[in-house]
A = this chain, B = another copy of it.
Amino acid sequence: MGSCPVLVFVLLFSATLPFSGDGGKILVFPIDGSHWLNMKILVEALHSQGHQITVIRSSTSWYIPESSSYFTSITIPQTQSQNIESQSYMTSFLKRSLDIRRRRGSLWALLEFYSNVFDLLRENQKTVAELARSIFENKKLIKELNETGYDLCLTDPVFPAGVLLGHYLKLPMVFNVRWIYSGDPHVALAPSPLSYVPELFSDHSDRMDFLQRVNNIIYRGFLVYMYYFVTNPPYQAVCNDYFGPDVSPWSIIQGADIWLMRVDFTFEFPRPTMPNVVYIGGFQGKPAKPLQSDLEEFVQSSGEHGVIIMTLGTLLGDLGPEISEIIASAFAKLPQKVVWRHIGEKPATLGNNTRLVKWLPQNDLLGHPKTKLFITHGGTNGLYEAIYHGVPILGMPLIFDQFDNMVHMTSRGAGEMVEVTQMDVESLTSAMKNILDPENSYKQNMLKLSGLLHDKPIKPLDSAVFWIEYVMRHKGAAHLRTESYKLPWYAYHSLDVMAVLVACSLLITMFTLVSCRCLIGCLVKSKKSTLKPKKE
C-alpha cells in the first residue's frame, strides 16, 4: 500500500543526499525541566546519525547533565536559578494557583490568576535575558563558539536566550517548540482567526458559541498585554544593546528556518499553519518494555478488571492530605487495581487495591494490556503517551496549559476531566466508573486517535531529524519562510492600503457630490435666467 515506492525512494534518497561525511556540528540551547526531556530525545537521535552536539546549560541547571555520551556541554555560570526550574517555587506557585482556582468564576480570581502567572514569568524572563547577556559579554566563549563553525542552532524558544544566541552567531535556526513566551507559537507565524482557533489558557475547543468567542478575544488581549508588558521587555533590552532598536525578539523568532512543533492533530485542533512548520507531536512514543517482576505481578493480579495508573507529573507528587484522602477513598471503591505515584503522607483511607509508588515507569504501564485508565494532570508528554497506547484519560488539570490539554481530550470523547478543587469521593468514583464502563465509547475513541497517531508516512522523530539535516544541507530554509516578518504591522494587516483606498473613495465621493451640487446649482440658475426674460 504505497510502501514499496517509499522504500525504493528512501533507498535511492539516502544514497544521493547525505548531509556530509562526518555529520554536522549542532549547537543546542535547551530549556530545563520537562522541555529538556523532549530535547534530549532529539539530541540522542541526532547523535545516532553521527552529528556532533554541544549543549549550552546553566550552572544552576536542574535536569541537564554536565557530561553525557551524546553531547559535550558548555556551562554558563549563573547565581540565580529560574523559578520555573525550582521545585519548591513551583510547589508554592501551584498551591496559590489551586487556591485561586477554588474561587474561580469571579473576575477577581481571574485577575489574581494572571497576576500570579505574570509574576512567575516576569522573574524568569529577567533571569533568562540576563543569561543571554552574560554569554554575549563573555568574549572568549563567543570567540570559541564562532571558531567551532556550527552548522545550526537548535533551541526551544519558550525562553528565547537560545534564539538570541543563534541570531548573534548568525546560525540557521531550528526550533523544538510547544510554546513561546508570548503564547501559542503559531501566532508568531500563521494567521489565527479567533473564531475557531481557541486562545491559550481559554479552555475552549474549536467549536465556540458566541460568548466563548467573546471570551476568546478577551484572552488574546490578555496575552498581547502579557507579551508587551511582562515577557518581552528584558529581551528587547538585550536586542537594543546588541542588535539595535530595529531588531525585536519577535522578529528573530519569526525568522527561524524550521519550527519542529510538538503537536499532532489527533490532539491539537486543526488551524492555519505555515510551510516551515513540521509537526512532530507524539515523537516521544515508543513501545512498552516489560515491567519489573513485582509490579508485573501486582498488575496481573487485577484479573479481568485491569489497572488504573495515576500520576501528576514530575513536579507534583502530592495534592495535600484533604484531596489525597478523597482520591484514596474513591480508588478503594473500585474493583480495579491502582498504581498511584504519591510522594506525601500515606492516606488513611487507602484501599488494598492501591499501591503507592514514588516513581512509575509511565510508558511501560500505559503500554501494558491490563491498563484501563490513566489519571493525569494533563501534561502533553503523558497525554501523547496515552494516545500512543490507546488508554482513555481522567484529567486532573492543575496549572498552565493542562486545562486546555484536557479540553482537547474531552472534546474527542477520549477522556473526562474533574475539577480537583471541587471533587468529592462520589463524583470522582462516578467519573472513573463512567470511563471504565465498556458501554461508553472512551476506549474506542482513544483507540481511533491512537490509530491516527500511528498512521503517518514518516515517523515524527525521523521527520525531525530529516528537517534538521535539511536546514544544514541547504544552510537554511528561506524558501519555506514567508516575507511577512519583514513587514511593519500596519503593512502586514494592509492598514496603510485600506486607509489610502478609503481616503480615495471619500475624495471621489466628495468631488462627485460637490460637482453635482455645482452642476445642479448652475442648471437651476440658468433655468431661472431663461425663465425671467420670458416673463418680461
Enumerate chain A interface residues (CB-CB to B < 8 A).
Answer: 1-7, 9-11, 13-14, 16-19, 45, 49-50, 190-191, 193-196, 206-207, 210, 213-214, 217, 265-266, 269-276, 279, 412, 451-452, 454-455, 457-459, 461-463, 465-467, 469-470, 473-474, 479-484, 487, 491-494, 496-498, 500-501
Contacts and interface: CB of A to CB of B under 8 A. Distances in A.
A207 to B, nearest CB: 5
A194 B10 CA distance: 38
A310 to B, nearest CB: 28
B463 A457 contact: yes
Contacts of A412: 479
Contacts of A492: 193, 195-196
Contacts of A465: 1-2, 5
Contact of A275 (B273, B481, B493): B273
11 contacts: A1-B49, A2-B462, A2-B465, A3-B10, A190-B191, A196-B484, A213-B496, A214-B500, A270-B274, A270-B482, A275-B279
User: What copy number does this chain have within its complex?
Assistant: 2
Contact of A273 (B273, B467, B473, B491): B273
A452 B481 contact: no
A217 B501 CA distance: 10
Given A272-B191, A494-B217, A196 B457 contact: no
A438 to B, nearest CB: 23
B272 A196 contact: no
A206 B10 contact: no
Given A2-B465, A49-B2, A465-B2, A480 B270 contact: yes
Given A1-B18, A191-B272, A275-B270, A213 B462 contact: no
Given A195-B497, A207-B483, A217-B494, 17 more contacts: A1-B14, A1-B49, A1-B465, A3-B11, A3-B13, A6-B458, A7-B10, A9-B458, A17-B455, A206-B483, A210-B496, A213-B497, A270-B276, A412-B479, A452-B479, A455-B473, A457-B458
B469 A452 contact: no
Most chain B Cβ neighbours within 10 Å, of A274, A457, A479? A457
A51 to B, nearest CB: 9
Contacts of A214: 497, 500-501
B272 A273 contact: yes
A76 to B, nearest CB: 30
A461 B270 contact: no
A487 B209 CA distance: 11
A57 to B, nearest CB: 26
